Amino acid sequence: MQTLSHPRNNSLAILEKALAALLMGIAGFVVLASAAIVIFQLWYLGRIFPGVSVAGIPVAGLKPAEATTRLASQLVFPQDGKLLLQSGERTWLLSPSELGLYLDPSNSAAQAFRVGRDGSLAQRLQYQLDALTGGVDVAPLLIHDQRQTAIVLSQIAGEIELPMLDPTITIQGTDVVVTPGQVGLRVDQDATISSIMKQMQSLQDGVIPLATYQVVPEVVDVEAQAELARQILSLPLILTLPEGQPEPHGPWTFEPDTLARMLAFERVQTDGTTRYQVTIDSSQLRVFLNELEPELYLQPEDPRFIFNDDTRELEVIQPAVIGRTLKIEESIDAIQKELLQGGHVTELTLALTPPDISDNVTGAELGITELVYSEYSYFYGSSSERVQNITASAQRFHGLLVAPGETFSMADALGNISLENGYAEALIIVGDQTVKGVGGGVCQVSTTLFRTAFFAGFPIVERHAHAYRVYYYEKVSGNSINSQLAGLDATVFVPLVDFKFTNDTPNWLLMETYVNPSYSSIQWKFYSTSDGRTVEWQTTGLQNVVQAPPTEYRENPELANGEVNQVDWEADGADVTVTRQVYRDGSLLYDDTFQTHYQPWQAVYEYGPGTEGMPPDETPVDGNEEE
């Protein structure tokens, strides 16, 4: 019996057969494709995949070593390439290798070999397919040694660079010479190296302009300062004192040739701009003014007066002196300012110090209304040199004022005892002998002042006795000796030994001195206003007397035969104590004691070689002579 099938069932069967055939086909294709891929990978194992090139050089199918060889032989841009460096009309033709470019063929081949071998399986297959269908060109691995490029550029820079030169101003004699400046030219190595690298990376020949820049001089406005310098040197520089200065000095003139050596040019910054500034060398001016300063210095001095006993008024015998000191730095500033303004005459700057007392002061204002004490001493038998020194020394004190409360220093008032100041050589005591020296006789003046202050009742601050008794200081009118005056002498030896007393009254004290060579006397006067003080004094007289040593005779080869000179005089040694009481209105103000020790002093004679009778049997008789 025949069975009939349903049409729907037939269709399903056909579809199932077709699907089965399709699946079998796909499976076969996959198997074939997989087999093809495997065969492809095995074939290029250790070789560069198809479609890969380096800088346009095909290396597909080559082993890395083979690719290295090919690249080394065919990629010759570093050696054969041409790079033309250019600056203006100058050019330098160089190969890339001369500028430090080198090819690394081994690593370049290695990079080509890595194409299609990095990433996941899908990524690797995709890279391989891209290379196969479209090609992959790998950039070569280049090594650029920038140090070599810098060396080459430094050599080129040495040929074209220009140094920047500031303009200068110099003085040649009295001429002002300007040297123009120069704009500098520099090679910008960083910018040039960047351009070179960019060109070399293209592996193409090319022209590369050198990057340069200008260096502009810092200093500007040279001509203006040069013209100012010429104006400064056109006339002498004249320095003067302000008008009305006593003891006129100057003017001091600096001729242009001298001024030129003092001219300087300083670099200064103004609003960010560097300029030259003309100046006068302050160091040279300072040296000159430092040397000038002592010459111009004036100590302020009170006027000197005498007291007119008839009118009972003060009379000026020497006007007051306004003190002055040269202000060096201020003077330098004034000189420079004047010159920079076109002037050539400058007043020096002074500091003025007025004295304590003016010329028109009255005796009543100072409390000087009467003679409060006067003292004499005598110098009979003095040499003309000694009288000259007494006169010169006494004159230093004539008309001097002593302020209330001031301690007066005789050494300060005496100043420099020298031949230039009117003194002569006479005998003085030095150490243990009497010798000739400048100023012998000054102690006649110091002794007179001591006695004036002593008997006027003023405090004695410093007093030194002579080494031995000097009979001048015990002489009284008529050339007789009063031994009661022993111990009332005072010596001064500037600047080591001084005599000082204090004006302890509320009034000024005026001193007057009068030397009368005809009467061999010196008078010292104190004018002030008496405060009623009186003086009592006592002396022990000469005690512990020691006889003078025997006379000594010395041969002096500088003396002639038969010449005999006495150089020291005998005096007995002794001690004297003088006491003083000063009263005011019956009350004791103070008392003081003055102790003196006189050494025994030996007479000394010098004689020339061969002088008969020397040393003699008896001591020659001669007068006493001393400073």
Amino acid 459: pLDDT: 98
- For 310-319, write each residue's pLDDT tens digit: 999 999 999 9
Helix (H, G, I), strand (E, B) or coil at 384: helix
Helix (H, G, I), strand (E, B) or coil at 575: strand
User: Poorest-confidence range of 42-51, 236-245, 340-349, 550-559?
Assistant: 42-51
Q: What are phi and psi of 595, to 5 degrees?
A: -105, 135
Burial class of residue 185, CB neighbours in 10 A (0-12, 13-18, 19+): middle
The mean pLDDT value of the chain amounts to 87
Q: What are phi and psi of 516, to 5 degrees?
A: -120, 95
- For 214-241, write each residue's pLDDT tens digit: 898 888 778 888 888 899 899 999 999 9
CA dihedral 439, 443, 448, 449 (to 10 degrees): 80
Write down which residue in 324, 353, 382 finishes a domain: 353
Maximum distance among all Cα pairs of the chain, rounded to whole angstroms: 210
Q: Looking at the structure, tell me whether residues 491 and 588 fall in a common domain.
A: yes
Amino acid 569: pLDDT: 82
Q: Looking at the structure, tell me whether residues 521 and 401 fall in a common domain.
A: yes
Amino acid 219: pLDDT: 81
| 548 touches 390 (CB < 8 A) | no
Write down which residue in 308, 335, 353 finishes a domain: 353
226 vs 41, more confident: 226
- For 389-409, write each residue's pLDDT tens digit: 899 899 999 999 999 999 999
Tell me, what CATH number does 284's domain have? 3.10.20.800
Amino acid 617: pLDDT: 59
User: What is the b/e burial string over 138-150, where b = at least 16 CB atoms within 10 angstroms of the residue's CB?
Assistant: bebbbebeeeebb
Q: Residue 338: inside a domain, yes or no?
A: yes
**Long-range contacts at 66-72 (CB < 8 A, ≥ 24 apart):** 67/105, 67/108, 67/109, 67/112, 67/113, 68/105, 68/106, 68/108, 68/109, 69/105, 71/103, 71/105, 71/108, 71/109, 71/140, 72/103, 72/105
Beta-carbon contacts of residue 194 (< 8 Å; ≥ 6 apart): none
Question: Does the pLDDT of residue 248 top 90, yes or no?
Answer: no
Q: Residue 380: inside a domain, yes or no?
A: yes
pLDDT tier for residue 621 given thresholds of 50, 70 and 90:
very low
Question: Does the pLDDT of residue 377 top 70, yes or no?
Answer: yes
Amino acid 42: pLDDT: 79
User: Poorest-confidence range of 34-48, 422-436, 468-482?
Assistant: 422-436
Question: Does the pLDDT of residue 624 top 70, yes or no?
Answer: no
Q: How many domains does the chain have?
A: 3
Q: Residue 316: inside a domain, yes or no?
A: yes
Q: Looking at the structure, tell me whether residues 551 and 583 fall in a common domain.
A: yes
Q: Residue 256: inside a domain, yes or no?
A: yes
Amino acid 28: pLDDT: 66
Average pLDDT over residues 598-620: 81
Q: Residue 27: inside a domain, yes or no?
A: yes
Question: Does the pLDDT of residue 425 top 70, yes or no?
Answer: no
- Give me 232's structure tokens: 């400064």
Burial class of residue 431, CB neighbours in 10 A (0-12, 13-18, 19+): exposed
Helix (H, G, I), strand (E, B) or coil at 311: coil
Q: Looking at the structure, tell me whether residues 243 and 269 fall in a common domain.
A: yes
Q: Looking at the structure, tell me whether residues 459 and 575 fall in a common domain.
A: yes
CA distance 361 to 319: 11
Average pLDDT over residues 5-31: 70
Q: Looking at the structure, tell me whether residues 451 and 595 fall in a common domain.
A: yes
Q: Looking at the structure, tell me whether residues 340 and 367 fall in a common domain.
A: no
Q: Looking at the structure, tell me whether residues 318 and 368 fall in a common domain.
A: no
Q: Looking at the structure, tell me whether residues 481 and 505 fall in a common domain.
A: yes
First to last CA, the chain: 192
Q: Residue 569: inside a domain, yes or no?
A: yes
CA distance 347 to 334: 8
- Give me 150's structure tokens: 């810098």
pLDDT tier for residue 192 given thresholds of 50, 70 and 90:
very high
Question: Does the pLDDT of residue 605 top 80, yes or no?
Answer: yes
SS3 of 71-113: HHHHCCHHHHCCEEEEECCEEEEECHHHHCEEECHHHHHHHHH
Q: Residue 442: which of 475, 466, 468 has the closest Cα?
A: 466
Q: Looking at the structure, tell me whether residues 367 and 349 fall in a common domain.
A: no
pLDDT tier for residue 506 given thresholds of 50, 70 and 90:
very high
Q: Residue 195: which of 180, 212, 182 has the closest Cα?
A: 212
Other beta carbons within 10 Å of 219: 18
| 513 touches 560 (CB < 8 A) | no
Q: Looking at the structure, tell me whether residues 246 and 347 fall in a common domain.
A: yes
- Give me 515's structure tokens: 């030397």
- For 511-528, write each residue's pLDDT tens digit: 999 999 999 999 999 999
DSSP summary character for residue 617 = S
* Tokens 């000469």 sit on residue: 542
| 131 touches 52 (CB < 8 A) | yes
Beta-carbon contacts of residue 265 (< 8 Å; ≥ 6 apart): 169, 225, 229, 276, 277, 278, 279
Give percent of the chain above pLDDT 70: 92
User: Poorest-confidence range of 45-59, 176-190, 428-442, 459-473?
Assistant: 428-442
Question: Does the pLDDT of residue 622 top 50, yes or no?
Answer: no
Amino acid 142: pLDDT: 86
Q: Residue 217: inside a domain, yes or no?
A: no
Angle at 44 between CA 38 and CA 48, to 5 degrees: 140
Q: Residue 140: which of 96, 84, 98, 99 has the closest Cα?
A: 96
Strands (E), 95-232: 101-103, 136-138, 142-144, 168-172, 175-179, 184-187, 206-209, 212-215, 219-220
| 471 touches 504 (CB < 8 A) | no
pLDDT tier for residue 472 given thresholds of 50, 70 and 90:
confident
Residues β-bridged to residue 426: 437
**What does the DSSP assignment read for 512-569?**
EEEEEGGGTEEEEEEEE---SEEEEEEE--SEEEEPPPPPEEEE-TTSPTT-EEEEE-
CA distance 440 to 427: 5
Q: What is the pTM of this model?
A: 0.61
Question: Does the pLDDT of residue 102 top 70, yes or no?
Answer: yes
CA distance 35 to 44: 14
Q: Residue 62: inside a domain, yes or no?
A: no
User: What is the b/e burial string over 54-67, where b = at least 16 CB atoms within 10 angstroms of the residue's CB?
Assistant: bbebbbbebebeeb
Write down which residue in 332, 353, 374 finishes a domain: 353
Q: Looking at the structure, tell me whether residues 453 and 323 fall in a common domain.
A: no
pLDDT tier for residue 201 given thresholds of 50, 70 and 90:
confident
Q: Is 272 left (phi over 0), alpha (psi -120 to 50) or beta?
A: left
pLDDT tier for residue 194 given thresholds of 50, 70 and 90:
very high
- For residue 21, the enclosing domain spans 14-43
Other beta carbons within 10 Å of 261: 12
